A and B are shown apart, each in its own frame.
Chain A
Amino acid sequence: MARDASLPITVRQVAKRYGAVRALDDVDLDIRSGEFLTLLGPSGSGKTTLLMVLAGFTRPDQGSLKFGETEVIRLAPHKRGIGMVFQNYALFPHMSVGANIAFPLRLRRVAKADIARRVDEALALVQLAGYASRRVDELSGGQRQRVALARAIVFEPRILLMDEPLSALDKQLREHMQIELRRLHEQLGMTTVYVTHDQREALTMSDRVAVIHHGRIMQLDAPRRLYERPANRFIAQFIGESTFLPVELADGIVRYAGEAVRVTQTGLPAGRQLLMLRPERLRMLQGAAIGDGAARDNLLRGSVQRTVYQGDSYLIEVRLADGTVVSMRGVSTERALAAIPQPGEPVALAFAPEDAVLMGEDAG
């Protein structure tokens, strides 16, 4: 399949109201050509609505949408030249696999011989070579999803839209398909907009992730930056686990419960802030090691409340002096598991200054 130059997508001031509800609230978004962008958010956040606006199935109340240089906001869906994969695959049950995939080619009056060749190529791409004559009801869920994918790309669209395509699959298949989709994207290079509510999926597959909530884009960043520097409390809680400690920033010094906390973040306003800690960025120190740790890292002293074994990792809940419970996560090695303290034992949680993330108090 030829690698056609893909298209960037420009969204400007797109708004959509349903009665009093603002499904999309003045959305601005720039998607780079060839990038894999994920729209991430909880249900009702507006991510699917935005995707539908891109596809042309939902007409916004206002806004501009450009694919490359072309304004498409008023263009009918079938003229936009996009490929789309839906959550429930929506394969045509009255057609065979091959006929399903050939459908967009037939619509575009491609010559019969070319149709057969391109259908086979598409099937090979999704690793279903030879399935052209099969019936739709003979396929498993994963296979159907791949046929839906083949159908969406066979006509070489410049843009690919996907609406939670993997949520109907079981966990193992889903993770396998995530890698498959990513591989396909790298091979074909088309601009891809992917919608999901699964943060892990978003972090795995995307070049950039846009977190959407209440119809607004809260943060648009590469996965790593999104995870390590969430812009507000909502994003921090939505992506990964987190604990929040209230801190005071005064005269350039951050204090928690009176003690100073060393941070590397700069440019923060004075006053009350939230200190976000990720469980895997905390180390557990006991006994003599506590003194050594204090030199480099910040320490939180408390006692062990509970331990939870979770297979590849373990979680220890520590109760601090002021009653706050902070969790730390450790990798399950024999040595680490053997060293887990008993409930009630005094311990300290250490975290590096660069692992401390401060953010404003509003939830976002």
Chain B
Amino acid sequence: MRSDAALNAAGLRRDARAERIALFGLGLPALALVTVTMVIPVAWLFWLSFLGDDGALSLEHYRRLIEQASYARIFRATFEISAIVTAICILLGYPLAYVLSQLPRRIANLCMIGVLMPFWTSILVRTYAWLVLLQRQGLINSLGIRLGLWDEPLALVHNLTGTLIGMVHIMLPFLVLPLYGSMRAIDRDYLKAAANLGAGPTRAFWLVFFPLSLPGLSAGALIVFILCLGFYVTPALLGGGTVIMVANRIASDIEIFFNWGAASALGVVLLVLAAAILLAAARLIRLDRLFGGHAP
């Protein structure tokens, strides 16, 4: 009998391994797809960025990134724009998320359709809509003139203003969604306790509600900021050639100059920056949960 059991041990181990492999194998096609169409090409780009113009390994592309002033300007512009868009999204999105979170679920779900609608409309369509609305003869300008707000049509598009408006419009749902989720999860009892202990509405909000909403806010702001860094379509169409973000430069380096070395180096820097910010913020948000999650 003893030998019987020991025999089964080997067979059982084999069965377990076969099952593990079979289940894992279900994910293999998807894994292969992502590896072949993304991991390998991006890795190839990494490799390209370290190849000099003569074909040998070199850091000249990265050196050029640091030396040429235009690149510094582009990075600064990209960060500034991303920061501004994130800030505006917070200013507009926080009150909206707050009101939605206070509404009864049914009505909130209905309103959410409005917030989610931009998600299933193409970024091109949304950008185009702003192109039409903000043009000199567009709706905004004609309304403004008719209402007497201004006399001459304002230049609202083909510049930074138009780009910012477009980007805010596209990024707002990315902030509102996680923020709404996190606000919904805040236990009303905390506010009742605050009121009970004597806090007025304003103090209760800033001392209790706001800290509890920080994790959702941080997550949303982070998503928005990182996505802004990589924006391409909106600055290209609404910027009128004056707004050049990193992605635009990468595209023009390739399309116009065929400079794969410079483009891939830029791309690598963009990716590394996005990843670094993501990792750093992931740590910070966890800390935030520790402190902000346990209100008085």
CB–CB under 8 A between A and B in the complex?
A: yes
Q: Which positions in A face B, CB cutoff 8 Å?
A: 12-13, 59-64, 73-74
* Cβ contact within 8 Å between A74 and B1: no
* Cβ contact within 8 Å between B15 and A63: no
Q: Which of B1, B4, B15 contacts A59 (CB 8 A)?
A: B15
Q: Which of A60, A61, A64, A74 contacts B4 (CB 8 A)?
A: A64
* Complex interface residues of chain B between 242 and 295 (CB less than 8 A to chain A): none
Known contacts A13-B2, A13-B5, A62-B12; 16 additional CB pairs below 8 A are: A12-B1, A12-B4, A59-B12, A59-B15, A59-B16, A59-B19, A61-B9, A61-B12, A62-B5, A62-B6, A62-B8, A62-B9, A63-B8, A64-B4, A73-B8, A74-B11
B interface, how many residues as a size bin? Answer: 10 to 19
Q: Which residues of the partner chain A approach B19 to less than 8 Å between Cβ atoms?
A: 59
Say how far B18's CB is from chain A's closest CB, in angstroms: 11
Q: Which residues of the partner chain A approach B5 to less than 8 Å between Cβ atoms?
A: 12-13, 62-64
Q: Which residues of the partner chain A approach B4 to less than 8 Å between Cβ atoms?
A: 12, 64
Q: Which residues of the partner chain A approach B2 to less than 8 Å between Cβ atoms?
A: 13
Most buried by B among A60, A61, A62, A74: A62
**Distance A62 CA – B1 CA, assembled complex (angstroms):** 12
* Cβ contact within 8 Å between A73 and B12: yes
Q: Which residues of the partner chain B approach A74 to less than 8 Å between Cβ atoms?
A: 8, 11-12, 15
- Enumerate 17 A-B pairs (CB-CB under 8 Å) in ascending A order: A12-B5, A13-B2, A13-B5, A59-B12, A59-B15, A60-B12, A61-B9, A61-B13, A62-B5, A62-B8, A62-B9, A62-B12, A63-B5, A64-B1, A73-B8, A74-B11, A74-B15
Q: Which residue of B lies closest to A14 (CB)?
A: B5
Say how far B23's CB is from chain A's closest CB, in angstroms: 13
Q: Which residues of the partner chain A approach B15 to less than 8 Å between Cβ atoms?
A: 59, 74
Q: Which residue of A lies closest to B10 (CB)?
A: A62
- Please list the 4 inter-chain residue pairs (A to B) with the smallest Cβ-Cβ separation, ordered nearest first: A62-B9, A13-B5, A62-B5, A64-B4
Say how far A60's CB is from chain B's closest CB, in angstroms: 7
Q: Which residues of the partner chain B approach A61 to less than 8 Å between Cβ atoms?
A: 9, 12-13
Say how far A343's CB is from chain B's closest CB, in angstroms: 44
* Cβ contact within 8 Å between B8 and A64: yes
- Kindly supply a per-residue 1/0 record for chain B positions 177-211, scoring 1 wherever the CB is within 8 Å of any chain A CB and 0 otherwise: 00000000000000000000000000000000000
* Complex interface residues of chain B between 5 and 36 (CB less than 8 A to chain A): 5-6, 8-9, 11-13, 15-16, 19
**Distance A192 CA – B112 CA, assembled complex (angstroms):** 53
Q: Which residue of A lies closest to B11 (CB)?
A: A74
Q: Which residue of A lies closest to B2 (CB)?
A: A13
Q: Which residues of the partner chain A approach B16 to less than 8 Å between Cβ atoms?
A: 59
Q: Which residues of the partner chain B approach A63 to less than 8 Å between Cβ atoms?
A: 5, 8
Say how far A9's CB is from chain B's closest CB, in angstroms: 16
Q: Which residues of the partner chain B approach A62 to less than 8 Å between Cβ atoms?
A: 5-6, 8-9, 12
Q: Which residues of the partner chain A approach B1 to less than 8 Å between Cβ atoms?
A: 12-13, 64
**Distance A74 CA – B16 CA, assembled complex (angstroms):** 10
Q: Which residues of the partner chain B approach A60 to less than 8 Å between Cβ atoms?
A: 12
**Distance A62 CA – B13 CA, assembled complex (angstroms):** 9
Q: Which residues of the partner chain B approach A13 to less than 8 Å between Cβ atoms?
A: 1-2, 5
**Distance A13 CA – B6 CA, assembled complex (angstroms):** 9
Q: Which residue of A lies closest to B5 (CB)?
A: A13
Q: Which residues of the partner chain A approach B9 to less than 8 Å between Cβ atoms?
A: 61-62
Q: Which residues of the partner chain A approach B8 to less than 8 Å between Cβ atoms?
A: 62-64, 73-74
Q: Which residues of the partner chain B approach A73 to less than 8 Å between Cβ atoms?
A: 8, 12
Q: Which residues of the partner chain A approach B12 to less than 8 Å between Cβ atoms?
A: 59-62, 73-74
**Distance A175 CA – B291 CA, assembled complex (angstroms):** 49
Say how far B11's CB is from chain A's closest CB, in angstroms: 6
**Distance A63 CA – B2 CA, assembled complex (angstroms):** 9
**Distance A63 CA – B8 CA, assembled complex (angstroms):** 6
